[in-house]
Amino acid sequence: MGSSVRGRFAPTPSGYMHIGNALSAILAWLQVRCLHGEFILRIEDLDVERFDPRYVDALMEDLKWLGVDWDEGPDVPGPYGPYRQQDRAHLYEQAFAALKAKDLLYPCFCSRKDLRTPASAPHGLTSEGPVYSGSCRYLSNQERARRAVQKPPAWRFMLPHEGMTFHDLVQGPKPFPPGAGGDFIVYRADGVFSYQLAVVVDDAKMRITHVLRGDDLLDSTPRQLYLYRALGLTPPSFAHIPMVCSASGARLAKRDNSITVRSLREQGVSPERVVGYLAWLAGLIVRPEAVRLCELIPDFDLSRVVHQPILLQKDWLETLLKGKRDVSAL
């Protein structure tokens, strides 16, 4: 019988994994392993516009190099597969139909340009554009039928009128006012299910009990909790860690090859030094020393993870490259 604790790492293979993604994977893995749980790797390749198959193998190679293993995933069959979203559309269709049957969705006929972003994992609700006004929510059936002749609609979830508060294992209590972010899309006009719906269905079907991810997704959590409630599903616990940013505070981007795990590997930096540096940035260890990932399990404590944005030092790369030559320090 499997463990009652199940966590996951669910990346989008749109480029080589950068060190911010690596930190999320490392902390999610440590959270589960210190609880003697099972760790799942799921590939979020639902949005074909962002998905590049060549990065899937690279992603798994980089994770294994860091010391991250998994009990179920694309290359490790398990009872809750498949482990790639492109193969799970039938599950999203079932959830979509259930929401429609409860009259919790409505068609939205806004422009395609406004509907492109929400299919992929958002970096906060502001990335999805301004709060939706709800104009299509109040269209008559006759008007909906008329507009449906002109263009296929997207479908939005109707937010309830009450607010939402949940307890984040890193950030503490997080209140959200009624209507935070506006009614959101669960199915795009071009036939792609949204990130919000897919991640809820996947985590529920895979019996995920612990979700640890970047705090760029913190504002999406109430939306997902509303979907859990609407579908009669049990949500996992959530922990949102600070994002790793450049020294100037800018978000990391996969197109910047210098901050990818693959680039560090190619330059001869050891996985122990990468793990140790990231663990130090996150607050798990007091100095940036080389350490194997498994050695962090006994003393792992989520309460030690820093709450403020994690800024890379300007000389972070030089520090790691120096460590390659000098075994006495990073």
Q: What is the pLDDT of residues 148-189, one digit of tens each?
A: 999 999 999 999 988 899 999 999 999 999 888 899 999 999
Residue 239 backbone phi and psi in degrees, to 5: -135, 125
Does 130 have pLDDT greater than 90?
no
**Structure confidence at residue 112 (pLDDT):** 56
Residue 11 counted as an annotated binding residue: yes
Does 198 have pLDDT greater than 80?
yes
Residue 8 counted as an annotated binding residue: yes
- Distance separating alpha carbons of residues 226 and 162, to the nearest angstrom: 11
CATH architecture of 6-84+242-325: 3-Layer(aba) Sandwich (3.40)
At residue 247 the predicted structure's pLDDT band, cuts being 50, 70 and 90, is confident
Query: Where do we find the tokens 């210190």?
Result: 34
Residue 9 counted as an annotated binding residue: yes
Single pTM value for the model: 0.91
Share above pLDDT 90 across residues of the chain, in percent, rounded to a whole number: 72
Residue 245 counted as an annotated binding residue: no
Residue 112 counted as an annotated binding residue: no
Cβ burial 7-29 (10 Å sphere, 16+ → b, else e):
bbbbbbbbbbbbbbbbbbbbbbb
- Distance separating alpha carbons of residues 11 and 94, to the nearest angstrom: 23
From-to residues of CATH 3.40.50.620 in the chain: 6-84+242-325
**Structure confidence at residue 275 (pLDDT):** 97
Residue 213 counted as an annotated binding residue: yes
| CATH code of the region 86-203 | 3.90.800.10
At residue 248 the predicted structure's pLDDT band, cuts being 50, 70 and 90, is confident
**Structure confidence at residue 327 (pLDDT):** 46
Q: Mean pLDDT across the chain, nearest whole number?
A: 89
Residue 250 counted as an annotated binding residue: no
Residue 226 counted as an annotated binding residue: no
Q: Is the previous residue joined to 82 through a cis bond, with omega within 30 degrees of 0?
A: yes
- How does DSSP classify residue 120? S
Residue 148 counted as an annotated binding residue: no
Residue 44 counted as an annotated binding residue: yes
Three-class SS of residue 208? coil
* DSSP symbols for 278-309: HHHHHTSSSS-----GGGGSTT--GGGS--S-
Q: What is the pLDDT of residues 34-61, one digit of tens each?
A: 999 999 999 999 877 777 888 999 999 9
What is the rounded average pLDDT of the residues 186-210?
A: 96
Residue 228 counted as an annotated binding residue: no
